[in-house]
Structure 1
Amino acid sequence: MKFLRLLILFLFIQSHAQQGGMWIPSLLKGMNETEMKNLGMKISAEDIYSVNKSSLKDAVPHFDGGCTAEMISNKGLLLTNHHCGFDNIQSHSTVEHDYLTDGFWAYSLEEELPNKDLFVRFIVRIEDVTTKVLEGVASLSNESDKQRKIQENISNLTNSSPKESWQENSIKTFYDGNQYILFVTETFKDVRLVGAPPSSIGKFGSDTDNWVWPRHTGDFSLFRVYADKNNKPAEYSKDNVPYVPKHFFPISLESLKENDFTMVMGYPGRTQEYLPSFAVEQIVNTLNPAKIEVRDAALKVQDGFMRKDKAIKIQYASKYASVANYWKKWIGETKGLKKSNAIAIKQKFEKEFQEKVAKAGKQAEYGNLLSEFEKNYSDINDYALARDLFSEVALRNTELLSVGYKLYQLEQILNTKGEQSFNDRRNNLVNGLGDFYKDFNSNVDEKVFEQLITIYSKLYPSQFLPENLKNIDAEKLSKEVYSNSKFVSYDKIKELLTGDSKTVIANMNNDKGYQIIKAIADSYFNQIAPKYDEINLKNTALQRTYMKAILELSPKSARIFPDANSTLRVTYGKIKGYKPSDAVYYEPFTSLDGVMEKYIPGDYEFDVPQKLITLYNNKDYGNYGVNGKMPVCFIATNHTTGGNSGSPALDKNGNLIGLNFDRVWEGTMSDIYYSPDICRNIMVDVRYILFIIDKYANAKNIINELKINYPTKKKTKK
């Protein structure tokens, strides 16, 4: 009976173990380690992060500053997402050798392809330096002075903290400026492409399936990290050798089942879990709808051209995917925030917060925080909307305007720093624009401009709208700009930028495209930016105090994790299905059957290579199939965001079981509010990755250098 009670208690603890949160790996001992073990983890916090011995953190580098990757062999082999390696795959692709369409596989080290400017960065050590960073700050009353002092302290510490000559120091802020942590890192700049499946596997479902479940995408690519003969970071050289990592992940082929423990390590980019309800309301009702409308229009134009012209498809594939990614994310985020009633939940939290403030006798220190937030978010609304529209229309999604903005900055440099600085920037600009124009099509961009300038003139707060963009005929204006502006080709813009500064500036200001971007930029920098920055600085100070109060007034057992900031984090949970809406339940696993169900011959998003069809029809799955099926993807309750793309999904023993690449659409609101009921991360099953490498690509050389743990056979009772 006693054993039964203990068993019931154990099952209760396991089923109610906490999930969610993005935790600093050096601080897992205590509450987090207990929670992880309750969920089923068998390794220790020391196995995950250690400075004295190799640990899991040594196998998880930051990939190219925006994604995550993992080491999977002792010869520097690195695994990340297909979409993380996409730019590099594209850069090697031509119409004749289209690696995006056909895939790429190196069957020897000599066949691996170097990648300009690609890098990976490993964490060596993590150290709390909060006291040193905040030294001398409390005595300052002005927020700008405080920020300057903090930056001064950070600069001094970054330069003076001990490290090896080949390492770097960086300091990041946590809990909205209430904690500062030093990261010592090593950056490797010789990273070569080893393998990538065709986009019909690596991007299967493309933008239609992006952010949704069920998913059937083999979103992976392979690279190799190279080092000098001493295993230290080095620029690209033919004399470099494969890097020997301190740790690499063994791969487990054990069958996965619902409620299995999962852990994801990576570099989540940015979350805002502790925003007040007023900020969330502004995101849901004002900012997200405007950004969605802009990107929706740009994507429809680009997609129309890409479907008709293969050369344009190659030119715009990476750009389109980048634009579409957050367009769809914002749609799902808004939907999830509404569905989960996040604003009301935050309002309830704020009511309870005020009660805690009163109970603690802290009204003088914290009592006015929420009322000040309410006023500030009301005051900043039009400025925030104008700022987002400037960014989305002028800087991100209309290429002619984004080039024009670089020239606008060139004119500002002449005005503020003089002739020499102007010439230096002009020369760098001319040299750098060659790569840009390689993937630029003026016909595509003209139609994008026509759509986006219409939205800009409609949504931009009328009191700030430039005179030359009021009551416009967008079609007429677009034809006029793209017929006459020098911005439409590399040769013409080089011609525009030839001559002394006086000549160049005069020619720029006579250019119709430049006149448009200058009016837009002048409006932003003269009327929007100063006021936005003023109010935002107030909110920054308020948010820091609000976070301080939350930490101070919450019980020690409270699960308060720092927002993501592109630093290494650990998140943990379980493989689990979910219920997105009434009468709908999603299983946590998909298989190759689903790929074939979605297959549409010749379709841009859902075509399937003939060889994969043959392998499926023959059920030729090698060591990787289970009960006649080929696993493809699975979902779990790990709390992830942008930057976790390419993160390793690990089992209870720290073995690789999958590769994180997405979240479910309804759960993208986890950047602002995490709910274990509907927030799920999506991972490609490592068995599918190995199946593609082995059976599809026949890259036995890659398989042979991996450490693969095959399923243990259960003994049958006699």
Structure 2
Amino acid sequence: MRKILLSVVMLCMAFATKADEGMWLLRELNKESVSRMKELGFTFPINKLYDENNPSLKDAVVIFGGGCSGVAVSEQGLIFTNHHCGYGAIQKLSSVEHDYLQDGFAAANQPEELYADGLTVSFLRSMSDVTDRILSNIPSVLSEMQREATIDSLSDELVKSYENDPFVRARVIPFYSRNKYYLVLYDVFRDVRLTVTPPSSVGKYGGDTDNWIWPRHTGDFSVFRVYADKNNKPARHSADNVPYRPKYVVPVSLAGVKDNDYAMTIGYPGSTERYLSSWGIRQRMESENKPRIDVRDAKQAIWREAMNANDTIRIKYANKFAGSSNYWKNSIGMNEAILNRNVLQEKETIESRLQQWIDGNPARKAKYGNTLATLRDAYTSTNAPAAYSTYFLETFNNGIELIRFANTILHFDTKTSEEDKQAFINERIIESYKDYEPALDKKVLSALLKLYAERVPEEYHPGIYTKIKEEFGGDYDRYGEWLFTHSQFTNLDNLLSLLKTNNTDSLMKDPAMELALSATEAGYKLSGQLMPTYDKILQGEREFMAALMEMSPDKNFYPDATFTQRLSYGSVKGYQPRDAVWYDYYTTAQGVFEKYKENDPEFHVQPYILDALRSRDYGRYAAPDGLLHVNFLSNNDITGGNSGSPVFNGKAELIGLAFDGNWEALSGDLIFEPEVQRTISVDIRYVLFMIDKVMKAPHIIRELQIPR
């Protein structure tokens, strides 16, 4: 009897853990998910989660910028998001004289708020299922590439009526490995202003060392305000604009969190590959992650040295470095987690089961008999060229900035109107050069050209390597010195003068353009190696997903992340990363002092902030234990793009902002690991303490809806 009872308990525990997996579309929530949410402590009305005709929670959760999430928290358009999400805008607003990255910023009133040029905040308007309108027009005889081209054409027709409206974004997005399609509409607000941001010593406390690592002590938040015209509609930046009145405003809870409390995130997770095959995962590890780590190691070492030595360069390259290092460390952690969590073995078990199911029925065998073999052969045959392609992209597309500038100019049409030409120059060229240091890029160029030559076979080298060998004796430093001395692209004024002449011949003969064109030609060659099998991979992945869903008709599948609004539900809880080690579910301000290192770029904190924490004058922001809680853990299912996502309690009140995942589960984009996968969030009480007591902006607190 005892064994039977134990077996039942273990079965229930396994189900409960797995049930919390998923990045669910709010409009597709099923009965099982809703039941599980209520079991965990959700009491908010389900019909107020997603409603396109009445105000609902979906109206408060936004796309912040181009790759983050945020939440509306006041009737006057305040948006809470992460510090690292606002980092690019804060960096653009900063200078050596007004270093908002180092010192923070708090507007005393709305007129003092700083317009963040180019920053957008997008509110979800609607999601319409257009699967039938798409797939019913796809002939079965088409190849996979022809199929995709046809779908693109049909999608273009569906969004055509919105394409000239700068305040509406329309996208047709595939789900379930391109077996389902939605037309998604957003209202895009283009007048967004910085209201409050803490110093990086708070918002980025721990830097790269603590990135993806628990325990954390990072106040990763920033506050912006959305402005609209007098009719509450999106508008260009204007002094006449007024704060936007959101359809729904999220109340902010000071009750805090306890172990096993309900936790729910709603945000915009960017990309997952939960249904990727074992062969695809191996290619991700060996042909994408490893080359990316290799190249960014070299580039970031050069950047880091220059940034530490010069404040001007530190400000210019702060956002670039943060973006580069984030995915560099993610790639390292993902490869480690895949091995430690036996991800490949789990995938192989699923594939074995699927193959047995396919072979067990003639109809299934006719439909899916070649699916797994197609995937295996396509991936294994392209591992080497895929690695060379990653080296190429990291070196020539993401590494050497001068090449990116030249590629931008290639899209410059000298025959367009003067107005369009000037807009192109302002938006694409001048903005890029504001954060550019030619001497630094020259060092990167020499290092990366050498690294690429060492890692990639000569047949995939751009033709410029012949010039370097013949004219510079293979010396990359000499070539770099010559290029940066003779190119007009290394100086903005010189480049603008060249563009004004409309002298295409001089433009195309510039050494920077010569390098860019040479790289482009090599890129086409690499693409040509991969293209024949790309069709097979697309087909194999679509069939693989369809077969999995057909094999398990009673299972509630959720679609991979596609930077569309998703909900995840779970609980506040710690975890055991390894034998004899247990991590509690929260951290306190005491940890800031324990990690503090004077003048260290990652762990230094200004004395006035330390004094505020040391005073223990936390007021209503203190936890019941009298301490100031900083970060907390939950088992919510998130990924990149969820940064800035609101974390809600069971009443749909704001309790935190999600900003990171944990090191042990960086394989989470490929497979959910319920025992160790955790979301790291900043406690909203720490956010409010910093705004109120440290940044001296109590007027912001007064705008919030704080339940008593």
Provide the TM-score with structure 1 as the length reference.
0.91
User: Which has the higher mean CA deviation after the structures are superposed, 638-647 or 126-135?
Assistant: 126-135
User: Structure 1's 236 and 428: CA in aligned 2 closer, same or farther, altered over 3 A?
Assistant: closer
Q: Distance in 1 between matches of 2:10 and 2:452?
A: 58
Which residue is equivalent to 1:514? 513
User: Structure 1's 429 and 477: CA in aligned 2 closer, same or farther, altered over 3 A?
Assistant: farther
For residue 599 of structure 2, what is the amino acid of its counterpart? G
1:576-595 matches, within 5 Å, as: 576-595=573-592
Which residue is equivalent to 1:574? 571
Q: Distance in 1 between matches of 2:401 and 2:161?
A: 42
User: Structure 1's 659 and 147: CA in aligned 2 closer, same or farther, altered over 3 A?
Assistant: same
Structure 1 residue 145: Cα displacement: 3.0
User: Structure 1's 57 and 622: CA in aligned 2 closer, same or farther, altered over 3 A?
Assistant: same
- Are 2:606 and 1:609 aligned? yes
Which residue is equivalent to 2:207? 206
For residue 340 of structure 2, what is the amino acid of its counterpart? K
CA contact (8 A) 1:394 1:405 kept: no
CA displacement, residues 304-348 of structure 1 (integer Å, 9 cap, x when unaligned): 111111111111111111111100111111111111111111011
Structure 1 residue 10: Cα displacement: 13
Which residue is equivalent to 1:714? none
Q: Distance in 2 between matches of 1:428 and 1:609?
A: 41
Which residue is equivalent to 1:416? none
1:307-386 matches, within 5 Å, as: 307-361=308-362, 362-386=364-388
Which residue is equivalent to 1:644? 642
For residue 706 of structure 1, what is the amino acid of its counterpart? L
Which residue is equivalent to 2:656? 658
Aligned to 2:627, which of 623, 626, 629?
629
Structure 1 residue 495: Cα displacement: 4.2
Which residue is equivalent to 1:41? 42
CA displacement, residues 158-198 of structure 1 (integer Å, 9 cap, x when unaligned): 3479x999755432110111001122321111111111011
Structure 1 residue 386: Cα displacement: 2.5
CA contact (8 A) 1:332 1:666 kept: yes
Q: Distance in 2 between matches of 1:167 and 1:493?
A: 34
Which residue is equivalent to 2:680? 682
CA displacement, residues 188-223 of structure 1 (integer Å, 9 cap, x when unaligned): 111111110111111111111111111111111111
User: Structure 1's 260 and 10: CA in aligned 2 closer, same or farther, altered over 3 A?
Assistant: farther
Structure 1 residue 279: Cα displacement: 1.0
Which residue is equivalent to 2:172? 171
Which residue is equivalent to 1:266? 267
- Are 2:32 and 1:31 aligned? yes
CA contact (8 A) 1:426 1:497 kept: no
Which residue is equivalent to 2:704? 706
Q: Distance in 2 between matches of 1:201 and 1:706?
A: 22
Q: Distance in 1 between matches of 2:689 and 2:315?
A: 27
For residue 450 of structure 1, what is the amino acid of its counterpart? S
User: Structure 1's 468 and 422: CA in aligned 2 closer, same or farther, altered over 3 A?
Assistant: farther
User: Structure 1's 334 and 191: CA in aligned 2 closer, same or farther, altered over 3 A?
Assistant: same
Structure 1 residue 36: Cα displacement: 1.3
Q: Distance in 2 between matches of 1:177 and 1:253?
A: 42
The CA RMSD over aligned residues, in Å, is: 2.5
CA displacement, residues 71-117 of structure 1 (integer Å, 9 cap, x when unaligned): 01111111011111112111221111111111111121111111212
CA contact (8 A) 1:82 1:202 kept: yes
- Are 2:437 and 1:441 aligned? yes
User: Structure 1's 160 and 501: CA in aligned 2 closer, same or farther, altered over 3 A?
Assistant: closer
CA displacement, residues 602-643 of structure 1 (integer Å, 9 cap, x when unaligned): 111111121221122221112111223110001111111111
Q: Distance in 1 between matches of 2:265 and 2:692?
A: 25
Matched length: 692
Which residue is equivalent to 1:553? 551
CA contact (8 A) 1:422 1:501 kept: no
Aligned to 2:593, which of 592, 596, 601?
596
1:601 is paired with a residue of what secondary structure?
coil
Q: Distance in 2 between matches of 1:450 and 1:635?
A: 43
Structure 2 residue runs of 5 or longer lacking an equivalent are: none
Aligned to 2:615, which of 618, 626, 636?
618
CA contact (8 A) 2:167 2:189 kept: no
1:632 is paired with a residue of what secondary structure?
strand
Provide the TM-score with structure 2 as the length reference.
0.93
- Are 2:534 and 1:536 aligned? yes
CA contact (8 A) 1:71 1:79 kept: yes
CA displacement, residues 25-66 of structure 1 (integer Å, 9 cap, x when unaligned): 011141211121222212243121122422110100111121
Aligned to 1:479, which of 449, 459, 481?
481
For residue 119 of structure 2, what is the amino acid of its counterpart? L
User: Structure 1's 425 and 540: CA in aligned 2 closer, same or farther, altered over 3 A?
Assistant: farther
Which residue is equivalent to 1:276? 277
User: Which has the higher mean CA deviation after the structures are superposed, 124-133 or 264-273?
Assistant: 124-133
Which residue is equivalent to 1:219? 220
Q: Distance in 2 between matches of 1:516 and 1:167?
A: 38
CA contact (8 A) 2:287 2:386 kept: no
- Are 2:522 and 1:523 aligned? yes
CA displacement, residues 475-511 of structure 1 (integer Å, 9 cap, x when unaligned): 3333333333333221233344453444324532xx2
Q: Distance in 1 between matches of 2:18 and 2:551?
A: 23
Which residue is equivalent to 1:393? 395
User: Structure 1's 600 and 387: CA in aligned 2 closer, same or farther, altered over 3 A?
Assistant: same
2:66 is paired with a residue of what secondary structure?
coil
User: Which has the higher mean CA deviation after the structures are superposed, 270-279 or 118-127?
Assistant: 118-127
For residue 474 of structure 1, what is the amino acid of its counterpart? Y
1:551 is paired with a residue of what secondary structure?
helix
Q: Distance in 2 between matches of 1:537 and 1:423?
A: 42
- Are 2:320 and 1:300 aligned? no
User: Structure 1's 78 and 428: CA in aligned 2 closer, same or farther, altered over 3 A?
Assistant: closer
For residue 287 of structure 1, what is the amino acid of its counterpart? E
- Are 2:447 and 1:451 aligned? yes
Structure 1 residue 15: Cα displacement: 5.1
For residue 415 of structure 2, what is the amino acid of its counterpart? Q
User: Structure 1's 528 and 421: CA in aligned 2 closer, same or farther, altered over 3 A?
Assistant: farther
Structure 1 residue 250: Cα displacement: 0.7
For residue 47 of structure 2, what is the amino acid of its counterpart? E
User: Structure 1's 391 and 454: CA in aligned 2 closer, same or farther, altered over 3 A?
Assistant: same
CA contact (8 A) 1:17 1:39 kept: no
Which residue is equivalent to 2:668? 670
CA displacement, residues 379-422 of structure 1 (integer Å, 9 cap, x when unaligned): 22233222212211111121122223334556xx7xxxxx6269
Q: Distance in 2 between matches of 1:383 and 1:496?
A: 38
2:520 is paired with a residue of what secondary structure?
helix
User: Structure 1's 52 and 402: CA in aligned 2 closer, same or farther, altered over 3 A?
Assistant: closer
Q: Distance in 2 between matches of 1:255 and 1:248?
A: 19
User: Which has the higher mean CA deviation after the structures are superposed, 571-580 or 260-269?
Assistant: 571-580
For residue 398 of structure 1, what is the amino acid of its counterpart? I
Structure 1 residue 534: Cα displacement: 3.0
CA displacement, residues 665-687 of structure 1 (integer Å, 9 cap, x when unaligned): 22222111211122111100000
For residue 445 of structure 1, what is the amino acid of its counterpart? D
Structure 1 residue 11: Cα displacement: 12
CA displacement, residues 442-471 of structure 1 (integer Å, 9 cap, x when unaligned): 221122222211221112233322354377
Which residue is equivalent to 2:249? 248
Structure 1 residue 700: Cα displacement: 1.2
CA contact (8 A) 2:144 2:539 kept: yes
1:176 is paired with a residue of what secondary structure?
coil
User: Structure 1's 384 and 100: CA in aligned 2 closer, same or farther, altered over 3 A?
Assistant: same
For residue 484 of structure 2, what is the amino acid of its counterpart? Y
CA contact (8 A) 1:395 1:405 kept: no
1:633 is paired with a residue of what secondary structure?
strand
CA contact (8 A) 2:338 2:667 kept: yes
Q: Distance in 1 between matches of 2:346 and 2:590?
A: 40
User: Which has the higher mean CA deviation after the structures are superposed, 135-144 or 564-573?
Assistant: 135-144
User: Which has the higher mean CA deviation after the structures are superposed, 431-440 or 59-68?
Assistant: 431-440
- Are 2:66 and 1:70 aligned? no
2:620 is paired with a residue of what secondary structure?
coil
Structure 1 residue runs of 5 or longer lacking an equivalent are: 414-418, 711-718
